[in-house]
Structure 1
Amino acid sequence: MKYAIITGASKGLGASIAKRLIDEQIALVTVSRTENEELRKYAQANNVSYQHHSCNLSNEEEIQEVFMEIAHSIFQKNPVEILLFNNAGVIEPIHTVGSLDQTPIIRNVQVNLIAPMLITNLFLQQAKLTNTSVQVINVTSGAATRPIHGWSIYCSSKAGLNMFTQTVAMEQAEMKTNNKIMAFSPGVMDTEMQEIIRTSSKEAFKEIDKFKEYKEKNILKHPDVVGGALVDLVLSGNYESGKVYHIKDLLK
């Protein structure tokens, strides 16, 4: 049996990934501060195993406690494969360096980078003791590869996530495990994160007009389209471990 774990599954891309996995009859564990009740009902209607765990991903002690519980629950069932989607992310703070507050800086790095590191480490550690293979999917951003005015923290945390992905892939290959890891850049989607971006000031974020135009001209992709393309790639198993995949390449 396959299991999937998705952080940030209550809305946006995470919810879309979850729905698609339910369609594929894959047992699901969602992790977010609040539960998406529609997902629970959808899983029940499709007779798919479903669990939700509430977790503050900016708190390392809570991450350790919650994900140890999840790992124990899943690994004792000896599944063939675990799909781990590190999807949760935050864009704030949006402002130039020198005008930032300390707390949102720390929260951004904790959610975007430290949480995926801790969760991935825990599951690969547990996988050593079993025959279960783990596929890790880290949701990154195009901001990881170019500097964007006002997004210094987001760009940096996502760049770190890309390097973490590449390094883990190298290590797992050298150890000759069956585990794989990839990063996925979903592009601009019609989500709550985009709403937050559009409420920025021109002073804080110079490219704000371009992002408002994405919405006005209906350029933003629906999360269901993006999530479906990602799940297709993951379930195919036909991807290169350590590579950063972009939605534009999957929807050609």
Structure 2
Amino acid sequence: MKYAIITGSSKGLGASIAERLIKENVNIVSVARTENEGVRKLAAEKDLFYKHFTCDLSKVDEVDLVFSEISDIIFSGNTEEVLLVNNAGVIEPIDKVGNLDTNKVNINIQVNLLAPIVISNLFLQKAKDCKLTIVNVTSGAGERPIQGWSTYCSTKAALNMFTKTTALEQQSEQSKHVIIGYSPGIMDTDMQVEIRSSSKDSFHDIETFKGYKEQGLLRSADVVANALVDLLISGDVQSGTIYNVNELLK
């Protein structure tokens, strides 16, 4: 059997990835604070295994508990492949250093960086008899500084390095496991709404991001999800690579 575990699967890119994988006959484990009924119904129509877990990824104890339960379910004797998509992410706080909300900084680090590390660590411990592919959804913000996004840029840069380092370790062990990053570019999602709702004082480039929406430059989550899944099913995935949607859609 093939399983995909997707965090942040209730909306946006996570929901689109889940829907596309269901069409590819992959069993789905959904992880989010709320459940997407459309994803659940689509899996039922395809007669696939589907289970939703409610989880607040900003709470490490909750992450440990939920993903231990998930691993007990999916790492069974008849599991051939497991795909873990660490998709959930938060952009807040959007503000200059010196004005940052400490609680929002903590949540950002927990969700964007700590949760993917903890989950990946657990799954690599458990994936003894099947192939594990880990996709860490990152951002171009992890490769360049953006004023007002210091925490987001930092967590995504750290996630990229975690991805590359883990891949190097697995290659040294001649493991069959694969770990990659995926930078989805600018999408028409709730995160973009949140960005456009910030102030000029907090976010230097706000007019640029408003322009993306006004000029129709935001890709749909479905387009971005399909590019990722097409890559995964191509069989030509290079572990340790940070893939960019712009390159995949050329």
Instruction: Calculate the TM-score normalised by the size of structure 1.
Output: 0.98
1:213 is matched by which residue type in structure 2? G
Q: Separation in 2 of the partners of 1:8 and 1:77?
A: 27
1:229 is matched by which residue type in structure 2? A
Query: What is the aligned partner in structure 2 of residue 223 from structure 1?
Result: 221
SS, match of residue 195 in structure 2: helix
Query: What is the aligned partner in structure 2 of residue 29 from structure 1?
Result: 29
Query: What is the aligned partner in structure 1 of residue 109 from structure 2?
Result: 109
Q: Separation in 2 of the partners of 1:26 and 1:149?
A: 40
Q: List aligned pairs for 1:91-102, cutoff 5 A.
A: 91-102=91-102
Q: Separation in 2 of the partners of 1:172 and 1:163?
A: 14
* % identical aligned pairs: 55
Deviations 1:82-110 (A, max 9, x none): 00000000000000000011100000000
Question: Is it true that 1:204 corresponds to 2:202 in the alignment?
Answer: yes
Q: How much has 1:77 moved relative to structure 2? A: 4.2
Q: Separation in 1 of the partners of 2:186 and 2:71?
A: 32
Query: What is the aligned partner in structure 2 of residue 86 from structure 1?
Result: 86
Q: How much has 1:132 moved relative to structure 2? A: 0.7
Query: What is the aligned partner in structure 2 of residue 239 from structure 1?
Result: 237
Q: Separation in 2 of the partners of 1:38 and 1:240?
A: 32
Asked whether the equivalents of residues 22 and 28 of structure 1 are also in contact (C-alpha less than 8 Å), the reply is yes
Question: Is it true that 1:178 corresponds to 2:165 in the alignment?
Answer: no
Query: What is the aligned partner in structure 1 of residue 131 from structure 2?
Result: 133
Structure 1 vs Structure 2 CA RMSD: 0.7
Asked whether the equivalents of residues 109 and 153 of structure 1 are also in contact (C-alpha less than 8 Å), the reply is yes
Q: Separation in 2 of the partners of 1:62 and 1:131?
A: 26
1:218 is matched by which residue type in structure 2? G
Match of 2:145 among 126, 144, 147: 147
User: How many residues of Structure 1 are paired with residues of Structure 2 in the alignment?
Assistant: 250
Question: Is it true that 1:64 corresponds to 2:90 in the alignment?
Answer: no
Asked whether the equivalents of residues 4 and 84 of structure 1 are also in contact (C-alpha less than 8 Å), the reply is yes
Q: Separation in 2 of the partners of 1:60 and 1:236?
A: 34
Query: What is the aligned partner in structure 1 of residue 14 from structure 2?
Result: 14
1:224 is matched by which residue type in structure 2? D
Deviations 1:114-161 (A, max 9, x none): 00000000000111xx31110000000000000000000000000000
Q: How much has 1:33 moved relative to structure 2? A: 0.4
SS, match of residue 66 in structure 2: helix
1:70 is matched by which residue type in structure 2? I
1:139 is matched by which residue type in structure 2? V
Please, which runs of 5 or more residues in structure 1 have no aligned partner? Answer: none
SS, match of residue 4 in structure 2: strand
Please, which runs of 5 or more residues in structure 2 have no aligned partner? Answer: none
Q: Separation in 2 of the partners of 1:220 and 1:76?
A: 40
